Amino acid sequence: MVSDCLVAFYGGLYEGDDSCNTIWALNVEKNAWSQLAFGQCEDILARDDFALAPSSDLGTFFVFGGFVKGSRVDDCIKFTAESGKLQGEIIPHDEG
């Protein structure tokens, strides 16, 4: 959930093997779709076949792993809705 009435949908595949890097929101009160804008998320690559988990903090969710351009990745990204845009932050992990 991005807010009390918005549910976010992220990623997937376009026709072929190109990953989608757009985020769409469904307003369940108005039964209307809108595309959410990214804030500063240049380092976050389009992906598919990932895990997504909501946070108890409204407007925050996490994306883990998936495939980027056909290769498996194991990064974790925290998305937060701020001022009508989604901010993304890659969470560093220990390689050891």
Give the mean pLDDT of 65-87. 83
Q: How far is CA 49 from the centre of its chain?
A: 12
| Contacts of the segment 24-32: beta carbons below 8 A, 24+ positions apart | 29/5, 30/5
Look up residue 2 and give its two tokens.
């991005």
Give 23-74 pLDDT, tens digit per residue.
788 888 899 998 877 766 666 777 888 888 888 887 888 989 988 888 899 9
Q: What is the pTM of this model?
A: 0.72
